A and B are shown apart, each in its own frame.
Chain A
Amino acid sequence: MQASEAKAIEVTDLTVAYQEQPVLWDVDLDVPPGVLLSIVGPNGAGKTTLIKAILGLVRPAAGNVLIYDKPYEAQRRMVGYVPQRGTVDWDFPTNVLDVVMMGRYGALGWMRRPGKQERELAMQALEKVGMEAYTTRQISQLSGGQQQRVFLARALVQDATVYLMDEPFQGVDATTERAIVTLLQELREKGKTVVVVHHDLQTVTDYFDWVMLLNIRRIASGPVAETFTPENLRTTYGGRVAFITK
């Protein structure tokens, strides 16, 4: 890998604070293109905040974020976002297809309405996540795993280069989890960069090729084989990890 190659995500000296309380402290992160990276760390480690800061959803107290060498505002179209499932109102009067089409809104821009093309792209994305039979289903009638897959399809239609996902495995069953992982790995094969906030330490080695250990500060980041070490985990979790799977 040449040093001159643009990084998919480059975070430098990022500090985010709510009131005086630092949530992220002087965090650096370089993500090369085409990796599947998980961010792990204990509760309150700032994992979600880091994703939100990369997306410009929270204002950093200091530091800088670049997506392929440019600020996020200039690269919106390159970035797909899967928020936590619980952040939206699933009783909203709309159906599956409609939610997935929202992923095309950014490409459409202000005032232009989605049409046939958006509908077809949304259908394709739903097929990829195995939800094509649910297009007209009201979103409140979906299970947790189905909701997650709808969110994933919505990110897929964005046709992004970089994907940021906040706990996509939360509350989904084992089958869905496998399906999602396969999908993420396919994205990586296509040269996309995928960053996932993840909770389950046991699956990190299986699912991901890069990992970032975070607890307010960055403890370590890099390829799983080098970074996901007992020592780094102990630093991240403060000695509270009794098991290490390797």
Chain B
Amino acid sequence: MIQEHLDIQLIAIVTAVACALPGVFLVLRRMTLMSDAISHAILPGIVLAFFLTESLSSPLLILAAAGTGVLTVVFVELLQRTKLVKEDAAIGLTFPALFSIGVILISRFAGNVHLDMDAVLLGELAYAPLNRLDIFGYDVGPVSVYVMGTILLLNLTFILLFYKELKLATFDASLAATLGFAPTLIHYGLMTLVSVTTVGAFDAVGSILVVALIAGPPATAYLITNRLSLMLTLSAIIGSVNAVAGYWLAYLFDVSIAGAIATMTLLVFGLVFLFVPNRGLIAIARRRTRQKWEFAQTMLVIHLFNHEGLPEAEAESEVAHLHEHLRWDPAFAAQVVKYALNNRCVSQEETQLTLTERGRTVAQQALVQ
């Protein structure tokens, strides 16, 4: 039982990390939808390879599916190049067409074979550990761990070897081209990786979760860091956390593991989206509020500063008259005065406001700018 827990989590982590790494570049290239397209469009490749080999475990399946994946990218780009169809529409046209070819092939010729649609869409992590790898009669663990482990190693090697090239081609493809780095080649290299990863992962976790694993962790990491290398590392970590947390969520509520991991991915993204310092929604809202009060306070001190020592100063410094002079709502004026008092920019005697030394400096600085 414990072994099973460990096996499933291991598969989930390895798969999540393998997906997150190329996912980073898809997110930066604004191509995450392409992973969605690939994950569906590989179906006819799988079916055809299955007809050829009559086996579901042949490595030819992965190769054929990866081939179909790359073909999807080519189709989308050819359509796009006509300039008659935009990228999103091109994706929307291509992958349902390929996917449905796969569906038709299954329903027409493979009705009695174990290749059903549920498995395709959702996969079944819970069963993944049952398919085990035997070497000389020894059980060395689930096949999925080895398949995904190999793919993870492949992705890692590619990214480590071509890190500089990937970065340049993603940031500035035309500079990459002028320097002789063949951005098209890099692009298709990356797309081949995405296809292989999708195929491998989809066998274990289904096509829906694949997209969540590819897009979710990188999109989350993108909010946290502004360094590419850190974004890759964080994506891998976030992907693993989502996988483990999702697994236990599924265990707790006795629901689909793939579904729970996808939910966890969204949840973690949402939390980061709200709470990450500097760039999170809450940080932004707080900064806006603070800026609003800062700005109003500056207006107040400038107003007092301009009239300081002049005959009309007394009337202008009257709290009750602020709304008139600055066209502020009385309630708002009262709050601004409170804010400025707290910051020791003004002092109040009865209804009269006077600038403090600090308030004077603030006003002077604001006027110089």
Q: Do residues B164 and A105 form an inter-chain contact, with CB atoms below 8 A?
A: yes
B77 at the interface (CB under 8 A from A): no
B82 CB, min distance to chain A CBs, angstroms: 10
- Does A111 reach chain B (CB closer than 8 Å)? yes
What residues of A have a CB within 8 angstroms of the CB of B180 in the complex? 73, 76, 106
Task: Choose from A81, A88, A111, A114 the contact partner of B171 (Cβ within 8 Å).
Answer: A88
The one of A73, A93, A99 in contact with B226, judged by C-beta atoms closer than 8 angstroms, is: A93
A243 interfacial by beta-carbon distance below 8 Å: no
CB–CB B171/A110 < 8 A: no
Q: How far is the CB of B32 from chain A (nearest CB, A)?
A: 15
Q: Which of B160-175 contact A (CB under 8 A)?
A: 161-165, 167-168, 170-172, 174-175
Instruction: List residues of B whose CB falls within 8 A of some A CB.
Output: 28, 161-165, 167-168, 170-172, 174-175, 177-181, 222, 225-228, 230-231
Residues from chain B with a CB closer than 8 A to the CB of A224 are: none
Query: Chain B nearest CB: distance from A8 CB in Å?
Result: 16
Give the residues in chain A near B222, CB-CB below 8 Å. 93
A105 touching B168 by the CB < 8 A rule?
A: yes
The complex places the Cα of A24 from the Cα of B114 at a distance, in Å, of 59
Cβ–Cβ contact B170 & A92, under 8 A = yes
Which of A81, A93, A111 is in CB contact (< 8 Å) with B175?
A81
Residues on A with C-beta less than 8 A from B28 are 89, 92-93
Shortest distance between the CB of B126 and any CB in chain A (Å): 36
Residues of A within 8 A of B171 (CB): 88-89, 92, 94, 99, 102
A140 is an interface residue with CB less than 8 A from chain B: yes
By the criterion CB–CB under 8 Å, are A88 and B172 in contact? yes
Taking a contact as CB atoms closer than 8 A, the residue among A94, A106, A108 that contacts B167 in the complex is A94
Is A57 interfacial (CB-CB < 8 Å)?
Answer: yes
Question: Which residues does A use to contact B, with CB under 8 Å?
Answer: 52, 55-57, 73, 76, 79, 81, 83, 87-89, 92-95, 99, 102, 105-106, 108, 110-114, 138, 140, 154
Contact across chains for A110 and B228 when beta carbons are under 8 A apart: no
30 contacts between A and B (CB under 8 A): A55-B178, A56-B178, A57-B174, A76-B178, A76-B180, A79-B178, A81-B178, A83-B172, A83-B174, A87-B172, A87-B174, A89-B28, A92-B171, A93-B28, A93-B222, A93-B225, A94-B167, A94-B226, A94-B228, A102-B171, A102-B175, A105-B164, A105-B181, A106-B179, A106-B180, A110-B165, A111-B162, A111-B165, A112-B164, A114-B164
Contacts of A52 in B (CB 8 A): 174
Contacts of B227 in A (CB 8 A): 93-95
Complex CA distance for A76 and B178, rounded to whole angstroms: 7
Give the residues in chain B near A105, CB-CB below 8 Å. 164-165, 168, 179, 181
**CB closest residue in chain A, given B232:** A93
The complex places the Cα of A54 from the Cα of B337 at a distance, in Å, of 64
Given known A-B contacts A93-B228, A95-B226, A114-B164, A102 and B172 have beta carbons under 8 A apart = yes
In the assembled complex, which residues on chain B have CB atoms less than 8 Å from the CB atom of A106?
179-181
Docked complex Cα distance between A73 and B181 (Å): 12
Q: How far is the CB of A73 from chain B (nearest CB, A)?
A: 8
A52 to B164, CA, bound (A): 23
Q: Please judge, given known A-B contacts A76-B178, A76-B179, A93-B28, whether A102 and B226 are in contact too, CB under 8 Å.
A: no
Chain B, residue nearest A154 (CB): B175
Q: Which residues of A contact B179 (CB under 8 A)?
A: 76, 105-106
Interchain CA distance A99-B168 in the complex, whole Å: 9
Partner of B161, one of A81, A89, A111: A111
Q: What is the bound-complex CA distance between A73 and B225, given in angstroms?
A: 37
